[in-house]
Structure 1
Amino acid sequence: MSTLPSKGHLRKTALEARDAMEAETRALAGEKLAARGLPFRIEPGAVVSGYSPIRSELDPMPLMHKLAAQGARLALPAILGRGKSLSFRAWSPGDRLTMGPLGILEPSPAMAELIPDIMLVPCAAFDRLGHRIGYGAGHYDFTLAHLRKSKPIITVGLAFAAQEIKAVPSLAHDVALDYVLTENKTFDFRTS
């Protein structure tokens, strides 16, 4: 009989820890992350996909603005439906966003579709092996498995330190991250 907690339980616990953080602390974390930047050099013109933060997620926008100033081309995901890959549409700071089907802001369908070189991925929880728990729909795992058939993509999970858990129960279809960045630390899973 297994006594390991389920992904649902782990997600709930990690999200409660995130939600318990002060709004100002969460906002400062996004700024700290941007000041530190990515732990690797990006080529000018590299496509970096971020995400529109929802609820109390770590806000990637300060980091994305910094990357744009360094020459990155930015994109944000659009959800096309359950069981389908995310679409990444060109986005620049100041561009107007529209409400997507799940209530998440995304670029207009008229914007160019891009394939990311680097993906900033929101995490509900993560462990020190690079496994993450998302919100349960599997959008990122499915998308990464699909996109990595055509080219290498660096994945960078973004989370608060409070969202780290001892172990994520991973399945065969779960895709491990290359890095996780918190407000306090950079975890590099490519060297472990």
Structure 2
Amino acid sequence: MSGSGTYASPPCMAAEVDPAYFDPQGVDPAQVRDVARWRRAERIRLAALREELGQSGRAQVSAAIATHLGTFLAAHGARAGAMVAGYWPIRGEPDLRPLLARLHEMDVRVALPVVETRAAPLVFRRWTPRMRIARGHWNIPVPPAEAEALVPDILIAPCLGWDGACFRLGWGGGYFDRTLAALSPRPFAIGIALAAARLPTIYPQPHDVPMDAIVTEEGRAAERTNTA
């Protein structure tokens, strides 16, 4: 499927499947449950921020983010031959597909994330603007099974919320965290978010893996310096 729609890419919706989920590695189960309850409430609030923008507002935000992100990507090696993993937008997420299409035209190899195994790291399949799109887990559009598998040099992930330490609040499935923890070498990870979705902290837990940078409609909002 192509064009605008209501689908999204990040397959991170396990919290909707199991709303009582909490990190079993947490030192204090009560504290972990408190954080899980807080995060569920924040996800509802932050998702409403997107909806309040309306279609035209989301389009303006998407265009502004794409402009800033394009410049940022160029400075971080997104050139011919590089592999960049984007996402298919759903639920009001910024739509960066026009930027991904431009990267494709520049001979950057573009991929989208796919859940091939539940509760496991994501895999990435090559995407081109005119390719046939299949339906993956949670009905999310993904490249078909025969598409080339890629390992990204740069990974772009949508965020519901974010903090100044570049930790990302997603839908709660933990797929991007598992993926970044498993990939070696690790790709340069960029979170995409609304500026208004910044939080003082997401109360990071043992399983949380920070992004390397956050980009919003206002530009680069945060970047880690110890990304080695």
Distance 2:51 2:60 in 1: 15
Q: CA deviation at 1:29?
A: 1.7
State the match for 2:124 in structure 1.
Answer: 88
TM alignment of 1:146-161, pairs within 5 A: 146-147=182-183, 150-161=184-195
2:211 counterpart (156, 166, 177):
177
Deviation at 1:89, TM superposition (A): 0.2
The one-letter amino acid paired with 1:130 is: C
SS in 1 for 2:145: coil
Show the counterpart of 2:51: 19
**In the alignment, is the contact (CA less than 8 A) between 1:77 and 1:88 conserved in 2?**
yes
SS in structure 1 at match of 2:139: coil
Q: How does 1:105-116 map to 2 (within 5 A)?
A: 105-116=141-152
Kept in 2, the 8 Å contact 1:6–1:169? The answer is no
Determine if contact 1:124/1:135 at 8 Å carries over to the other structure.
yes
TM-score (norm 1): 0.91
Q: Which amino acid counterpart does residue 155 of structure 1 have in structure 2? A: A
Amino acid at match of 2:153: D
1:166 has 2:189 as partner? no
1:28 offset after TM fit, Å? Answer: 1.8
Q: Which amino acid aligns with 1:181?
A: V
Who is 2:139 aligned against?
103
- Shift in alpha-carbon separation, 1:84–1:121, aligned structure 2, 3 A: same
The answer to whether residue 193 in structure 2 is matched with residue 124 in structure 1 is no
Deviations 1:11-42 (A, max 9, x none): 21111111211211111222222223142232
Alpha-carbon contact 2:165-2:224 (below 8 Å) kept = no
Structure with bigger helix share is 2
Alpha-carbon offset, residue 134 of structure 1: 0.8
Shift of 1:82: 2.5
Count of residue pairs brought into register by the alignment: 190
Contact residue 126 and residue 164 of structure 1 kept, 8 A? yes
TM-score, length-scaled by structure 2: 0.77
Q: Distance in 2 between matches of 1:60 and 1:9?
A: 27
Q: Which residue of 1 aligns with 2:179?
A: 143
Q: 8 Å contact 1:156–1:178 — kept in the other structure?
A: yes
RMSD value, Cα: 1.9
Worse overlay, 159-168 or 131-140: 159-168
AA aligned to 2:104 is A
CA distance in structure 1 between the partners assigned to 2:122 and 2:101 by the alignment:
22
Aligned match of 1:53: 89
Cα deviation 1:66-104 (Å, max 9, x = unaligned): 322333110001112331111100111121211112111
**Share of identical aligned residues, percent?**
33
Any conservation in 2 of the 1:125–1:165 contact (CA below 8 Å)?
A: yes
SS at match of 2:41: helix
